[in-house]
Structure 1
Amino acid sequence: MPGHRSITEAEKLAAQRLGGFPIRRDQMAAVANIHRAAAAVRQHLENSVLRGSDLTWTAFVVLWVVWVWDESETRHVAEEAGISKGTLTGVARTLESRGLLKRAGHPTDGRLVLLSLTDEGEQLMQRLFPKFNEEEAFVTGQLTDDECRSLADMLRRVVLQVEDHGEERRQSLLDGAEPAPRRSGRRPRA
Protein backbone atom coordinates (compact mmCIF):
# COMPACT_ATOMS: atom_id res chain seq x y z
CA MET A 1 0.00 0.00 0.00
CA PRO A 2 1.52 3.33 -1.00
CA GLY A 3 2.22 5.91 1.68
CA HIS A 4 1.57 9.65 1.60
CA ARG A 5 2.83 11.24 -1.61
CA SER A 6 3.50 14.88 -2.31
CA ILE A 7 1.67 16.86 -4.97
CA THR A 8 4.88 17.02 -7.01
CA GLU A 9 5.31 13.25 -6.90
CA ALA A 10 1.65 12.67 -7.82
CA GLU A 11 1.95 15.04 -10.78
CA LYS A 12 5.10 13.24 -12.02
CA LEU A 13 3.39 9.84 -11.74
CA ALA A 14 0.32 11.11 -13.59
CA ALA A 15 2.51 12.54 -16.36
CA GLN A 16 4.26 9.15 -16.73
CA ARG A 17 0.94 7.28 -16.83
CA LEU A 18 -0.64 9.68 -19.34
CA GLY A 19 2.41 10.17 -21.56
CA GLY A 20 0.74 8.87 -24.73
CA PHE A 21 -2.70 10.42 -24.22
CA PRO A 22 -3.60 13.65 -26.05
CA ILE A 23 -4.67 15.57 -22.95
CA ARG A 24 -4.79 19.17 -21.84
CA ARG A 25 -2.29 18.97 -18.99
CA ASP A 26 -2.69 22.51 -17.65
CA GLN A 27 -6.46 22.05 -17.31
CA MET A 28 -5.96 18.63 -15.72
CA ALA A 29 -3.53 20.13 -13.20
CA ALA A 30 -5.93 23.00 -12.43
CA VAL A 31 -8.89 20.71 -11.71
CA ALA A 32 -6.77 18.18 -9.79
CA ASN A 33 -5.34 20.95 -7.63
CA ILE A 34 -8.79 22.45 -6.98
CA HIS A 35 -9.77 19.06 -5.58
CA ARG A 36 -6.53 18.61 -3.62
CA ALA A 37 -6.73 22.11 -2.15
CA ALA A 38 -10.39 21.69 -1.19
CA ALA A 39 -9.71 18.35 0.51
CA ALA A 40 -6.62 19.65 2.34
CA VAL A 41 -8.40 22.81 3.55
CA ARG A 42 -11.50 20.88 4.61
CA GLN A 43 -9.45 18.35 6.57
CA HIS A 44 -7.38 21.07 8.23
CA LEU A 45 -10.44 23.09 9.27
CA GLU A 46 -12.30 20.02 10.55
CA ASN A 47 -9.28 18.93 12.60
CA SER A 48 -8.30 22.37 13.90
CA VAL A 49 -11.42 24.48 14.41
CA LEU A 50 -14.56 22.43 13.93
CA ARG A 51 -13.71 19.37 15.98
CA GLY A 52 -13.66 21.42 19.19
CA SER A 53 -17.30 22.31 18.55
CA ASP A 54 -18.11 18.74 17.49
CA LEU A 55 -19.01 19.84 13.96
CA THR A 56 -18.34 18.22 10.62
CA TRP A 57 -17.55 20.33 7.58
CA THR A 58 -21.06 19.76 6.24
CA ALA A 59 -22.70 20.73 9.53
CA PHE A 60 -20.64 23.92 9.65
CA VAL A 61 -21.56 24.80 6.06
CA VAL A 62 -25.26 24.31 6.84
CA LEU A 63 -24.95 26.55 9.91
CA TRP A 64 -23.03 29.11 7.84
CA VAL A 65 -25.68 29.19 5.10
CA VAL A 66 -28.51 29.62 7.60
CA TRP A 67 -26.50 32.20 9.57
CA VAL A 68 -25.83 34.28 6.44
CA TRP A 69 -29.25 33.94 4.81
CA ASP A 70 -31.34 33.85 8.02
CA GLU A 71 -34.46 31.69 7.87
CA SER A 72 -34.38 29.69 4.63
CA GLU A 73 -36.24 26.89 2.90
CA THR A 74 -34.47 23.55 3.13
CA ARG A 75 -34.15 23.26 -0.66
CA HIS A 76 -32.25 26.57 -0.77
CA VAL A 77 -30.01 25.58 2.14
CA ALA A 78 -29.18 22.26 0.46
CA GLU A 79 -28.40 24.01 -2.82
CA GLU A 80 -26.22 26.68 -1.18
CA ALA A 81 -24.41 24.05 0.91
CA GLY A 82 -23.83 21.86 -2.14
CA ILE A 83 -25.51 18.81 -0.62
CA SER A 84 -28.58 16.72 -1.38
CA LYS A 85 -31.87 17.37 0.39
CA GLY A 86 -31.55 13.90 1.94
CA THR A 87 -28.14 14.75 3.40
CA LEU A 88 -29.51 18.04 4.68
CA THR A 89 -32.35 16.23 6.45
CA GLY A 90 -29.89 14.18 8.52
CA VAL A 91 -27.58 17.11 9.23
CA ALA A 92 -30.50 19.37 10.19
CA ARG A 93 -31.90 16.74 12.57
CA THR A 94 -28.52 16.41 14.26
CA LEU A 95 -28.09 20.18 14.57
CA GLU A 96 -31.68 20.50 15.83
CA SER A 97 -31.09 17.81 18.47
CA ARG A 98 -28.05 19.78 19.64
CA GLY A 99 -30.15 22.94 19.99
CA LEU A 100 -28.35 24.84 17.22
CA LEU A 101 -30.98 24.83 14.50
CA LYS A 102 -34.76 24.88 14.45
CA ARG A 103 -37.15 23.69 11.78
CA ALA A 104 -40.56 25.19 11.14
CA GLY A 105 -43.30 24.73 8.60
CA HIS A 106 -43.65 27.30 5.85
CA PRO A 107 -46.49 29.75 6.66
CA THR A 108 -48.19 29.41 3.24
CA ASP A 109 -47.00 26.06 1.88
CA GLY A 110 -47.22 23.11 4.24
CA ARG A 111 -44.91 21.03 2.01
CA LEU A 112 -41.95 23.31 2.70
CA VAL A 113 -39.71 23.43 5.77
CA LEU A 114 -37.81 26.49 6.98
CA LEU A 115 -34.53 26.38 8.89
CA SER A 116 -33.20 29.04 11.25
CA LEU A 117 -30.56 29.24 13.95
CA THR A 118 -31.49 29.09 17.59
CA ASP A 119 -29.97 31.64 19.96
CA GLU A 120 -27.40 28.97 20.85
CA GLY A 121 -26.63 28.42 17.15
CA GLU A 122 -26.22 32.14 16.62
CA GLN A 123 -23.84 32.38 19.60
CA LEU A 124 -21.83 29.40 18.33
CA MET A 125 -21.36 30.98 14.90
CA GLN A 126 -20.36 34.31 16.45
CA ARG A 127 -17.71 32.50 18.55
CA LEU A 128 -16.62 30.01 15.91
CA PHE A 129 -16.42 32.04 12.72
CA PRO A 130 -13.53 34.32 13.80
CA LYS A 131 -11.50 31.17 14.61
CA PHE A 132 -12.52 29.62 11.29
CA ASN A 133 -11.45 32.78 9.47
CA GLU A 134 -8.08 32.74 11.25
CA GLU A 135 -7.50 29.29 9.77
CA GLU A 136 -8.64 30.53 6.35
CA ALA A 137 -5.84 33.11 6.69
CA PHE A 138 -3.43 30.36 7.76
CA VAL A 139 -4.12 28.08 4.79
CA THR A 140 -3.68 31.01 2.39
CA GLY A 141 -0.61 32.23 4.25
CA GLN A 142 1.72 31.84 1.26
CA LEU A 143 -0.47 34.11 -0.87
CA THR A 144 -0.60 37.91 -0.86
CA ASP A 145 -3.93 39.69 -0.45
CA ASP A 146 -3.90 40.41 -4.21
CA GLU A 147 -3.23 36.74 -4.96
CA CYS A 148 -6.11 35.73 -2.67
CA ARG A 149 -8.45 38.09 -4.52
CA SER A 150 -7.20 36.81 -7.88
CA LEU A 151 -7.57 33.17 -6.82
CA ALA A 152 -11.09 33.82 -5.51
CA ASP A 153 -11.99 35.49 -8.81
CA MET A 154 -10.57 32.64 -10.89
CA LEU A 155 -12.37 29.99 -8.83
CA ARG A 156 -15.60 32.00 -9.07
CA ARG A 157 -15.20 31.91 -12.87
CA VAL A 158 -14.77 28.12 -12.76
CA VAL A 159 -17.99 27.83 -10.74
CA LEU A 160 -19.84 30.17 -13.12
CA GLN A 161 -18.67 28.15 -16.14
CA VAL A 162 -20.25 25.01 -14.66
CA GLU A 163 -23.37 26.82 -13.44
CA ASP A 164 -23.96 28.67 -16.70
CA HIS A 165 -22.95 26.01 -19.22
CA GLY A 166 -22.69 22.68 -17.41
CA GLU A 167 -26.19 21.44 -18.13
CA GLU A 168 -25.88 22.20 -21.82
CA ARG A 169 -22.50 20.42 -21.89
CA ARG A 170 -23.91 17.36 -20.08
CA GLN A 171 -26.80 17.18 -22.55
CA SER A 172 -24.36 17.37 -25.45
CA LEU A 173 -22.11 14.65 -24.01
CA LEU A 174 -25.12 12.39 -23.37
CA ASP A 175 -26.78 13.12 -26.75
CA GLY A 176 -29.81 14.46 -24.89
CA ALA A 177 -30.29 11.31 -22.79
CA GLU A 178 -30.89 11.48 -19.07
CA PRO A 179 -27.81 10.69 -16.96
CA ALA A 180 -27.65 7.26 -15.37
CA PRO A 181 -28.99 7.25 -11.80
CA ARG A 182 -26.41 7.84 -9.10
CA ARG A 183 -25.20 4.77 -7.34
CA SER A 184 -24.53 4.52 -3.67
CA GLY A 185 -21.53 2.29 -4.27
CA ARG A 186 -23.47 -0.83 -3.41
CA ARG A 187 -23.98 -3.48 -6.02
CA PRO A 188 -27.55 -4.23 -7.07
CA ARG A 189 -29.14 -7.23 -5.41
CA ALA A 190 -29.30 -10.37 -7.52
Structure 2
Amino acid sequence: MTGHHTLRETELAIERQLSGAPVRHDAMMAVSNIYRAAAAIRQHFEASVLRGADLTWTAFVVLWVVWIWEEMETRHVAEEAGISKGTLTGVARTLEGRGLLERASHATDGRRVLLRLTDKGHELMRELFPAFNAEEAFVVERLSRSQNQALTESLRTVIEHLEEGGEERRAALRAESPPPPRRSGRRPRG
Protein backbone atom coordinates (compact mmCIF):
# COMPACT_ATOMS: atom_id res chain seq x y z
CA MET A 1 0.00 0.00 0.00
CA THR A 2 1.47 3.34 -1.04
CA GLY A 3 -0.97 5.61 0.75
CA HIS A 4 -3.83 5.51 3.20
CA HIS A 5 -5.96 3.50 0.75
CA THR A 6 -5.10 0.47 -1.34
CA LEU A 7 -4.90 0.74 -5.11
CA ARG A 8 -8.23 -1.07 -5.50
CA GLU A 9 -9.97 1.18 -2.93
CA THR A 10 -8.69 4.22 -4.81
CA GLU A 11 -9.86 2.87 -8.16
CA LEU A 12 -13.34 2.20 -6.76
CA ALA A 13 -13.53 5.71 -5.28
CA ILE A 14 -12.52 7.20 -8.64
CA GLU A 15 -15.16 5.15 -10.45
CA ARG A 16 -17.77 6.31 -7.94
CA GLN A 17 -16.75 9.97 -8.17
CA LEU A 18 -16.38 10.15 -11.95
CA SER A 19 -19.00 7.70 -13.23
CA GLY A 20 -20.68 9.25 -16.23
CA ALA A 21 -18.09 12.05 -16.54
CA PRO A 22 -16.86 12.65 -20.10
CA VAL A 23 -13.24 11.72 -19.42
CA ARG A 24 -10.85 9.14 -20.81
CA HIS A 25 -10.87 6.69 -17.90
CA ASP A 26 -8.22 4.51 -19.55
CA ALA A 27 -5.80 7.45 -19.83
CA MET A 28 -6.57 8.61 -16.30
CA MET A 29 -5.95 5.16 -14.83
CA ALA A 30 -2.73 4.65 -16.82
CA VAL A 31 -1.22 7.98 -15.72
CA SER A 32 -2.51 7.58 -12.17
CA ASN A 33 -0.92 4.15 -11.92
CA ILE A 34 2.38 5.42 -13.35
CA TYR A 35 2.40 8.06 -10.61
CA ARG A 36 1.41 5.61 -7.86
CA ALA A 37 3.98 3.06 -9.02
CA ALA A 38 6.71 5.70 -9.09
CA ALA A 39 5.79 6.87 -5.58
CA ALA A 40 5.67 3.30 -4.25
CA ILE A 41 9.03 2.47 -5.83
CA ARG A 42 10.62 5.63 -4.47
CA GLN A 43 9.32 4.93 -0.96
CA HIS A 44 10.51 1.34 -1.14
CA PHE A 45 14.02 2.31 -2.23
CA GLU A 46 14.35 5.08 0.36
CA ALA A 47 13.24 2.71 3.13
CA SER A 48 15.53 -0.10 2.00
CA VAL A 49 18.72 0.10 -0.03
CA LEU A 50 19.14 3.89 0.06
CA ARG A 51 18.54 4.07 3.80
CA GLY A 52 21.72 2.14 4.51
CA ALA A 53 23.67 4.64 2.40
CA ASP A 54 21.84 7.58 4.04
CA LEU A 55 20.62 8.81 0.65
CA THR A 56 17.32 10.21 -0.48
CA TRP A 57 15.92 9.18 -3.84
CA THR A 58 16.84 12.59 -5.27
CA ALA A 59 20.41 12.39 -3.96
CA PHE A 60 20.79 8.93 -5.49
CA VAL A 61 19.45 10.10 -8.85
CA VAL A 62 21.91 13.02 -8.86
CA LEU A 63 24.77 10.65 -8.06
CA TRP A 64 23.55 8.23 -10.74
CA VAL A 65 23.36 10.94 -13.42
CA VAL A 66 26.83 12.24 -12.64
CA TRP A 67 28.20 8.70 -12.36
CA ILE A 68 26.82 7.71 -15.77
CA TRP A 69 27.85 10.91 -17.57
CA GLU A 70 31.11 11.32 -15.58
CA GLU A 71 31.06 15.11 -15.52
CA MET A 72 28.14 17.33 -16.29
CA GLU A 73 27.05 20.93 -16.09
CA THR A 74 24.67 21.60 -13.20
CA ARG A 75 21.75 22.69 -15.39
CA HIS A 76 21.98 19.42 -17.32
CA VAL A 77 22.21 17.37 -14.12
CA ALA A 78 19.02 19.07 -12.88
CA GLU A 79 17.25 18.36 -16.19
CA GLU A 80 18.34 14.71 -16.25
CA ALA A 81 17.37 14.22 -12.60
CA GLY A 82 13.99 15.90 -13.14
CA ILE A 83 14.56 18.50 -10.43
CA SER A 84 14.91 22.27 -10.28
CA LYS A 85 18.31 23.95 -10.23
CA GLY A 86 17.49 25.20 -6.72
CA THR A 87 16.83 21.66 -5.51
CA LEU A 88 20.03 20.50 -7.18
CA THR A 89 22.00 23.21 -5.36
CA GLY A 90 20.91 21.89 -1.96
CA VAL A 91 21.41 18.24 -2.89
CA ALA A 92 24.82 18.92 -4.43
CA ARG A 93 25.94 20.82 -1.32
CA THR A 94 24.92 17.89 0.86
CA LEU A 95 26.69 15.37 -1.37
CA GLU A 96 29.73 17.63 -1.57
CA GLY A 97 29.78 17.93 2.22
CA ARG A 98 29.78 14.13 2.44
CA GLY A 99 32.74 13.98 0.08
CA LEU A 100 30.80 12.21 -2.71
CA LEU A 101 30.58 15.00 -5.27
CA GLU A 102 32.76 17.93 -6.26
CA ARG A 103 32.21 21.09 -8.23
CA ALA A 104 34.53 22.39 -10.91
CA SER A 105 34.51 25.56 -12.96
CA HIS A 106 33.73 25.28 -16.63
CA ALA A 107 36.86 25.61 -18.78
CA THR A 108 35.54 28.47 -20.93
CA ASP A 109 32.73 30.03 -18.92
CA GLY A 110 33.27 30.75 -15.23
CA ARG A 111 29.53 31.21 -14.67
CA ARG A 112 28.89 27.55 -15.42
CA VAL A 113 29.61 24.82 -12.89
CA LEU A 114 30.39 21.18 -13.54
CA LEU A 115 29.72 18.30 -11.16
CA ARG A 116 31.70 15.08 -10.92
CA LEU A 117 31.97 12.26 -8.43
CA THR A 118 34.91 12.06 -6.08
CA ASP A 119 36.76 8.78 -5.65
CA LYS A 120 34.56 8.20 -2.59
CA GLY A 121 31.46 8.86 -4.73
CA HIS A 122 32.61 6.39 -7.38
CA GLU A 123 33.29 3.80 -4.70
CA LEU A 124 29.83 4.31 -3.17
CA MET A 125 28.08 3.91 -6.53
CA ARG A 126 30.09 0.78 -7.43
CA GLU A 127 29.15 -0.74 -4.05
CA LEU A 128 25.57 0.52 -3.93
CA PHE A 129 24.37 -0.15 -7.45
CA PRO A 130 24.30 -3.97 -7.27
CA ALA A 131 22.05 -3.72 -4.18
CA PHE A 132 19.95 -1.06 -5.91
CA ASN A 133 19.58 -3.30 -8.95
CA ALA A 134 18.57 -6.22 -6.71
CA GLU A 135 15.69 -4.04 -5.47
CA GLU A 136 14.82 -3.14 -9.07
CA ALA A 137 14.52 -6.87 -9.73
CA PHE A 138 12.39 -7.29 -6.58
CA VAL A 139 10.02 -4.52 -7.67
CA VAL A 140 9.26 -6.25 -10.98
CA GLU A 141 9.66 -9.88 -9.92
CA ARG A 142 5.98 -10.68 -10.57
CA LEU A 143 6.47 -9.71 -14.22
CA SER A 144 7.97 -12.07 -16.77
CA ARG A 145 10.89 -10.90 -18.91
CA SER A 146 8.49 -10.30 -21.80
CA GLN A 147 6.18 -8.28 -19.53
CA ASN A 148 9.19 -6.23 -18.36
CA GLN A 149 10.14 -5.60 -21.99
CA ALA A 150 6.57 -4.62 -22.89
CA LEU A 151 6.38 -2.29 -19.90
CA THR A 152 9.73 -0.75 -20.84
CA GLU A 153 8.59 -0.19 -24.42
CA SER A 154 5.24 1.27 -23.34
CA LEU A 155 6.89 3.72 -20.96
CA ARG A 156 9.54 4.58 -23.57
CA THR A 157 6.70 5.40 -26.00
CA VAL A 158 5.12 7.74 -23.44
CA ILE A 159 8.47 9.45 -22.76
CA GLU A 160 9.33 9.83 -26.44
CA HIS A 161 5.88 11.28 -27.16
CA LEU A 162 6.41 13.92 -24.47
CA GLU A 163 9.95 14.63 -25.68
CA GLU A 164 8.71 15.09 -29.26
CA GLY A 165 5.42 16.90 -28.74
CA GLY A 166 5.15 17.92 -25.12
CA GLU A 167 6.67 21.39 -25.40
CA GLU A 168 4.42 22.32 -28.30
CA ARG A 169 1.37 21.04 -26.40
CA ARG A 170 2.35 22.94 -23.23
CA ALA A 171 2.91 26.14 -25.23
CA ALA A 172 -0.52 25.79 -26.85
CA LEU A 173 -2.19 25.24 -23.47
CA ARG A 174 -0.34 28.22 -21.96
CA ALA A 175 -1.48 30.41 -24.87
CA GLU A 176 -5.11 29.43 -24.25
CA SER A 177 -4.89 30.17 -20.55
CA PRO A 178 -2.29 32.75 -19.53
CA PRO A 179 -1.08 32.44 -15.95
CA PRO A 180 -2.67 34.66 -13.32
CA PRO A 181 -0.68 37.74 -12.29
CA ARG A 182 2.04 37.06 -9.77
CA ARG A 183 1.20 37.76 -6.18
CA SER A 184 3.88 39.88 -4.62
CA GLY A 185 2.21 40.19 -1.28
CA ARG A 186 1.74 43.91 -1.87
CA ARG A 187 -1.61 45.57 -2.00
CA PRO A 188 -2.66 46.80 -5.43
CA ARG A 189 -2.14 50.50 -6.05
CA GLY A 190 -5.25 52.62 -5.90
- TM-score, normalised via structure 1 length: 0.91
Query: 2:22 corresponds to which residue?
Result: 22
Query: 1:153 corresponds to which residue?
Result: 153
Deviations 1:7-65 (A, max 9, x none): 11110110110013111111111000000000000000010000111100000000000
Query: 2:9 corresponds to which residue?
Result: 9
Gap runs ≥5 in structure 1: none
How many correspondences in the alignment? 184
Query: 1:189 corresponds to which residue?
Result: 185
- Superposed displacement of residue 6, structure 1: 1.1
Query: Which consecutive segments of 4 or more residues in structure 1 shift more than 6 A?
Result: none
Query: 2:104 corresponds to which residue?
Result: 104
- Superposed displacement of residue 180, structure 1: 5.7
- Superposed displacement of residue 142, structure 1: 0.6
Distance 1:86 1:13 in 2: 37
- Is 1:90 the equivalent of 2:93? no
Same amino acid, percent of matched pairs:
62
Residues 130 and 71 of structure 1, relative CA distance in 2, 3 Å threshold: same
Alignment of 1:130-169 (within 5 A): 130-169=130-169
- TM-score, normalised via structure 2 length: 0.91
- Superposed displacement of residue 158, structure 1: 0.8
Distance 2:46 2:131 in 1: 12
Query: 1:115 corresponds to which residue?
Result: 115
Deviations 1:75-113 (A, max 9, x none): 111111011111111100100000000001011111110
1:102 and 1:117 in contact (8 A); partners too? yes
1:140 and 1:148 in contact (8 A); partners too? yes
Q: Secondary structure at the match of 2:22?
A: coil
1:171 and 1:177 in contact (8 A); partners too? no
CA RMSD in angstroms comes to 1.8
Distance 1:86 1:38 in 2: 22
Deviations 1:121-146 (A, max 9, x none): 00000000000000000010110111
What is the letter of the counterpart of residue 140 of structure 1? V
Query: 1:50 corresponds to which residue?
Result: 50
- Superposed displacement of residue 162, structure 1: 1.3
What is the letter of the counterpart of residue 128 of structure 1? L
- Superposed displacement of residue 5, structure 1: 1.4
What is the letter of the counterpart of residue 68 of structure 2? V
- After superposing the two structures, state which structure 1 stretch, 150-159 or 168-177, moved more: 168-177
Query: 1:80 corresponds to which residue?
Result: 80
Gap runs ≥5 in structure 2: none
Q: Secondary structure at the match of 2:48?
A: helix
- Superposed displacement of residue 179, structure 1: 4.8
